[in-house]
Structure 1
Amino acid sequence: MRHTPVFELTDPAEVARLVRENPWATIVSSTSNGLIASHYPVLLDETAEGLVLLSHVGRPDERLHEWGSHEVMVVVQGPHGYISPGWYDANPAVPTWNFVTAHLYGVPELLGADENLRVLENLVDHFEDALPSPRRMRGTLENSAYADRISAGTVGFRLPVTRFTAKVKMSQNRPPETVERIVTELEGDGPYASRDLAAEVRRANPEVFGRADG
């Protein structure tokens, strides 16, 4: 990732927030057969010190990635979108793309069958909790038996993050009046409107909008 000090994100708490709010991740390994990439949801182990990811992969991804023998990179990306130069001032300008992303590095630890099942249950509960009638993985005896069979085709992992690089590029290098116009456009109804991205621009520019809660 290109190093740009003004956009550098170094706060582990903000990286943890990024993972919590954007759990769909890309996992990349450099293997003896070349680069391998897979895509899975991840959760934070909230009981651990530091950043620790929990999830699973479907067999045979754990072998394709050659997990346990080398470091992998997990890419997590938050809201992003096109920023038109028409939202700036009258000076010459080019468009850009605002985004927030993190590259997390570590060596995955493969989990046993029982622990894998617990991770799968936690994943299901995490996403089902938002629904009015959550459907649990072990909500019924029939569903529990089905989950046991399906889980045999997955491998759980725990990934302690040993280092990360992250960037939050949200127009911090623009004058306050320009940042305000950008947010106005993002909160509007135009083709590039995005309220999620607008919220991130607000969060990244506390000197313009005040400091975000949390």
Structure 2
Amino acid sequence: MGSKKTFYQPNTPNMTRLDMYIPKNVALHDKQAIADLINHFGFGLLISPTLEATHLPLLYEAADDGQEYLYGHIAKANGHWQQLDGQQVLVVFSGPHSYISPTWYANSPAVPTWNYAAVHCTGRVELLDASATAKTIDKLIEKYEPSLSGNAAIMPAEYVDKLSQAIVGFRVIVDSIQAKEKLGQHRKREDQMGVYHALTQSASAESRALAEYMLNRNIGTGQNKEA
């Protein structure tokens, strides 16, 4: 991690890209866990070499040969899409996150910190034709609100076709995925238990979501035998 790589794009100077900072004790390598994180927190940030960025929902898919893809669409009114075809991009997915108070620890000294899970994907963009774009939209609807699929009363075909003219579909052919779970797993068991309990009792929905993620992953709750 942290090695420098050349990030070259036509008509732009060579740029130096740094890998995501991931200490060994918080690295996430489990492919299924990474896929689950992307699928559950699929609102990503797509960043191109020109440092233009667009926030958008994305679909993760893995082909039978192991190749991974991210599918999405962008408004034609957003000029960013004109810079994407064939370009190498970074896509960031942010999982649950929360402020962590040092008062939650049983041991001291301690300082405030922030715990979170995140995934960085890099890959090359390929623009989609109208048919593939329509399939991407259908899959997004099926994922987030299946009952809308084929609902002509709410989404008449003519209306959908009209709006489809205003978007551009694309996929990212993923060549690298890096992920981390900074969940306080390096702390002593009693510290982990204190943090987890505080998160579950928090008035913040984001903090409670982080606690649920920690429980599902069995990391940072103080219940893991390795804690």
What is the TM-score with the length of structure 2 in the denominator? Answer: 0.81
2:172 matches 1:172:
no
Q: Structure 1 pair 193/44, CA: closer, same or farther in 2 (3 Å)?
A: closer
The separation in 1 between residues aligned to 2:136 and 2:79, in whole angstroms, is 16
The separation in 1 between residues aligned to 2:203 and 2:136, in whole angstroms, is 41
Instruction: Give the deviation of 1:201 after TM superposition.
Output: 2.5
2:138 matches 1:124:
no
5 Å-filtered alignment, 1:1-214, equals 1-31=20-50, 35-45=51-61, 47=63, 49-61=66-78, 63-64=80-81, 66-129=83-146, 134-136=147-149, 138-140=150-152, 143-190=156-203, 194-202=207-215, 203-205=217-219, 208-210=222-224
2:16 is aligned to none
Identity %: 30
Q: Structure 1 pair 46/90, CA: closer, same or farther in 2 (3 Å)?
A: closer
User: Is the 8 Å Cα contact of residues 185 and 193 (structure 1) preserved in structure 2?
Assistant: no
**5+ unaligned residues in a row in structure 1: which ranges?**
none
2:17 is aligned to none
The separation in 2 between residues aligned to 1:193 and 1:72, in whole angstroms, is 28
| Greater strand proportion | 2
User: Is the 8 Å Cα contact of residues 121 and 176 (structure 2) preserved in structure 1?
Assistant: yes
Q: Structure 1 pair 23/104, CA: closer, same or farther in 2 (3 Å)?
A: same
Instruction: Give the deviation of 1:108 after TM superposition.
Output: 1.2
The separation in 2 between residues aligned to 1:106 and 1:200, in whole angstroms, is 27
Q: Structure 1 pair 65/174, CA: closer, same or farther in 2 (3 Å)?
A: farther
| SS of residue paired to 2:148 | coil
2:5 is aligned to none
Please, what is the CA RMSD of the aligned residues? 2.3
2:4 is aligned to none
The separation in 1 between residues aligned to 2:203 and 2:167, in whole angstroms, is 43
**Of 58-67 and 98-107, the range deviating more from structure 2:** 58-67
User: Is the 8 Å Cα contact of residues 100 and 113 (structure 2) preserved in structure 1?
Assistant: yes
Instruction: Give the deviation of 1:157 after TM superposition.
Output: 1.1
Equivalenced residues, count: 203
Instruction: Give the deviation of 1:199 after TM superposition.
Output: 2.1
The separation in 1 between residues aligned to 2:82 and 2:25, in whole angstroms, is 34
What is the TM-score with the length of structure 1 in the denominator? Answer: 0.85
**5+ unaligned residues in a row in structure 2: which ranges?**
1-19
The separation in 2 between residues aligned to 1:201 and 1:90, in whole angstroms, is 21
Instruction: Give the deviation of 1:11 after TM superposition.
Output: 2.2
User: Is the 8 Å Cα contact of residues 16 and 51 (structure 1) preserved in structure 2?
Assistant: no
